[in-house]
Amino acid sequence: MVTVTSSGTATVTLPADDQILIAREFDAPKQLVWEAFTTPELVKRWWHARRGEMTVAEIDLRVGGRWRYVMIADGGMEVGFHGEYREIVLHERIVSTEVFEGMPDGEAVNTMTLTETDGRTRIEILVQHASKEHRDMHVNSGMEGGLQDAMDLLEQVAVSLR
Amino acid sequence: MARAATTSDAFNAVAEPRRRQILDALADGERSVTDLVRLLGLAQPQVSKHLRVLRDVGVVDVREDGRQRLYRLNGSALKPIHDWVTTFERTWAERFDALDVVLEDLKRQDQGDGDGDE
């Protein structure tokens, strides 16, 4: 078994009312992070978030090309996502659309950015919701811009939650 | 008993900016309506209306204290929101932890299979 030193947990912030930003630093050069993000056999090894098994990872990595991921979650539920690549800058940036197939009316635009410093790579994934409806679905029930505020607030009241 | 569809749970109640301001003010401790009116610079009927919504979904509790009513946060009612954020964050944390393993493998391959353990 491989022993891995965790580089730290993901941070999730909400820079604007209709955006979600996910960030993390990895102990690897950006070429390797890129490879892990764009090679179907490799994506199948991590994208499931240890919550099931990925049955489909299709990546047609060119502008206008399509991608599709399908996972069978533990418990049997199948969840699928797909989209189209809009911009590709090798080892630096991928802009792609994303549709959750359970809610096909909504579409988000994801911008994945890699920045390497001293052999370590910071990844940022900015999720830009295309419509208020989709954003609302993403946060379950119409939180509008309130999530970051709610998170700030919950920092303050965390004591009462534990 | 009728509950407006837009304010039937904590998520929706917190979606309104003024209501978040009220929650922020209450995060520091109990407040009377008078306190909140002063802190937020809103008219009392407006504050009372928002407090009613927040009470309806259980995010805010109220108690009588002599002639005034004091409002306070009920943290457990905010838990669904906290849980949603936590779940989202945890999904990405798990995903990235699995990615760490993939990257370690790639790094070893890159170093020319020095271990010779293919």
User: What is the mean predicted confidence (pLDDT) over B23-29?
Assistant: 83
Alpha helices in B1-118 (DSSP H): 10-14, 17-27, 33-40, 44-56, 79-110
Report the C-alpha gap between A57 and A68 in whole angstroms.
Answer: 6
Which of A4-8, A17-21, A135-139, B35-39 has the lowest average pLDDT? A4-8
Banded model confidence at residue B32, pLDDT cuts 50, 70, 90: very high
Does A26 contact B103 at a Cβ distance shorter than 8 Å? Answer: yes
Residues B44-79: pLDDT tens digits? 999 999 999 999 988 899 999 998 999 998 877 777
How many Å lie between the alpha carbon of B67 and the closest alpha carbon of chain A? 27
Report the C-alpha gap between B3 and B18 in whole angstroms.
Answer: 19
pLDDT at position A16: 66
Of B73, B89, B107, the CB nearest to A10: B89
Q: Would you tell me how many other CB atoms lie within 10 Å of the CB of residue A88?
A: 15
How many Å lie between the alpha carbon of A127 and the closest alpha carbon of chain B? 13
Q: Which residue has the higher pLDDT, B100 or B85?
A: B100
Backbone φ and ψ for A74, nearest 5 degrees, come out as: -55, 130
Q: Amino acid letter at A39? A: T
CATH class of the structural domain B5-74: mainly alpha
Side-chain half-sphere CA neighbours of A114 within 13 A? 24
Q: Amino acid letter at B34? A: T
A135: left (phi over 0), alpha (psi -120 to 50) or beta: alpha
pLDDT at position B114: 53
Report the C-alpha gap between B17 and A153 in whole angstroms.
Answer: 12
Domain span at residue A75 reads 11-157
State pTM to two decimals.
0.64
All residues of chain A having their beta carbon less than 8 Å from the beta carbon of residue B84 are 139-140
> With 90 as the cut, is the pLDDT of residue B36 above it?
yes
pLDDT at position A11: 79
User: What is the mean predicted confidence (pLDDT) over B2-15?
Assistant: 60
**ipTM of predicted complex:** 0.74
* A119, part of any domain: yes
How far is Cα of residue A23 from the mean position of the Cα atoms in its chain?
A: 9
Q: Indicate the domain borders of chain B.
A: 5-74, 78-110
Report the C-alpha gap between A41 and A98 in whole angstroms.
Answer: 20
All residues of chain B having their beta carbon less than 8 Å from the beta carbon of residue A12 are 85, 88-89, 92
Residues A58-113: pLDDT tens digits? 999 999 999 999 989 888 888 889 999 999 999 999 999 998 887 777 788 999 99
Domain count for chain A, please give it. Answer: 1
CATH of the domain at A61: 3.30.530.20
Does B73 contact A157 at a Cβ distance shorter than 8 Å? Answer: yes
Question: Do residues B93 and A25 lie in contact, with contact meaning Cβ atoms separated by under 8 Å?
Answer: no
Does B101 contact A32 at a Cβ distance shorter than 8 Å? Answer: no
Q: Look-up: residue for tokens 């370590």?
A: A120
Q: How far is CA A38 from CA A30, A91, A116, A146, in A?
A: 12, 10, 17, 33
* A2, part of any domain: no
- State the average pLDDT for chain A: 78
